[in-house]
Structure 1
């Protein structure tokens, strides 16, 4: 019995994570990178890498091996891509998520030697909401004093007084703490709001901070819920998707950004305009 337990807990049943790497890029990103290295070695030893060095790994497979959720994987992938440690593509029919390890010794040394690299995207929308409620809620400037003074009289998340225009939302967020990726997401959201005003000839409806943040953190990533695959979208691709959205007729739709980020709609726009 004891031998069986030892076999169950032996070293190849664990994920080895470099402490320095985890300290610099975050634990989730370090865990995923370590697991991808293990997958790379597995496929390489079996001569099953593609000609250009890619191998496949599904969301479900990674979650089973690391316990990282889909949202946590998305955030970790973005960190690793920004650091040029990996490349990710969706290939084949049905489409599967493929990765390539960028074997650049100088780049890896730079990552290991750096201290607390660029702030990472939130690992999930729920964690992102906690960040907004905590660190980034309201700036201490005079223009926002009335809003802060009225905060005590809020009647809940869906009350009218709890909702902000997009310009008020911009003031309420501490953009000094934004990573490059956060800023690109904000620019995409701002483009959507500008398109809304152009096509609808009115200002975008007010939303809660949480709803604005949900919209922002959804930008630059399209998820095909049917195929269970995630597609990275660059800024120009997002603009094409947004323009296509407003050019499409949806019955009984107010064309709010909340509709734009709902369901499989963004994946459809991705396939129509970007892919």
Structure 2
């Protein structure tokens, strides 16, 4: 992945994410999470992560700092939680999963990996 080109897309997406969630991570924190994920993807999958659209990037950034559990409670994530969450994600075997970052940020994936890796 051309990370410089991706960084420009993140810069375009960041204002959209900030509109959706004024408390979202900073641009630098968001970039650190993306970098960690893409490095792990390369290491575990053996190829670059597929490109993301600006809309997808904004959606991810706007929810990086939290998720909602099955009881509608908010789970807060610190940027420092992500290396363990990501590593646990790649250790987990899913049915029909390509390990795309969009999968990681969908449903209860982060919540369950958080319970496994951080508690």
Secondary structure of the corresponding residue to residue 47 of structure 2: coil
User: How big is the shift at 1:202?
Assistant: 0.4
Q: Give the aligned partner of residue 244 of structure 1.
A: 88
Q: CA 1:270–1:261 in structure 2 vs 1: closer, same or farther (change >3 Å)?
A: same
- State the superposition RMSD in angstroms: 2.6
Q: How far, CA to CA, are the matches of 2:39 and 2:60 in structure 1?
A: 14
Structure having the larger proportion of residues in helix: 2
Task: Give the alignment partner of residue 266 of structure 1, picking from 106, 110, 113.
Answer: 110
Tell me if structure 1 keeps the 8 A contact 2:85–2:117: yes
Task: Give the alignment partner of residue 215 of structure 1, picking from 60, 77, 85.
Answer: 60
TM-score if structure 1 supplies the norm length?
A: 0.36
Unpaired stretches in structure 2, ≥5 consecutive residues = none
User: How big is the shift at 1:273?
Assistant: 1.4
Q: Per chain length, whose mean CA-contact separation is higher, i.e. which structure has more relative contact order (CA < 8 Å, sep 6+)? A: 2
Q: Give the aligned partner of residue 153 of structure 1.
A: none
1:85-164 equivalences in 2 (<5 Å):
none
Q: CA 1:217–1:167 in structure 2 vs 1: closer, same or farther (change >3 Å)?
A: farther
Q: Give the aligned partner of residue 11 of structure 1.
A: none
1:256 partnered with 2:100? yes
Q: How far, CA to CA, are the matches of 2:114 and 2:68 in structure 1?
A: 9
Question: Could you say which structure has the larger radius of gyration?
Answer: 1
Tell me if structure 1 keeps the 8 A contact 2:65–2:76: yes
The aligned length equals 110
1:171 partnered with 2:8? yes
Q: Give the aligned partner of residue 228 of structure 1.
A: 72
Q: Give the aligned partner of residue 201 of structure 1.
A: 46
Q: How far, CA to CA, are the matches of 2:97 and 2:112 in structure 1?
A: 17
Tell me if structure 1 keeps the 8 A contact 2:25–2:61: no
Tell me if structure 2 keeps the 8 A contact 1:189–1:216: no
Tell me if structure 2 keeps the 8 A contact 1:188–1:235: yes
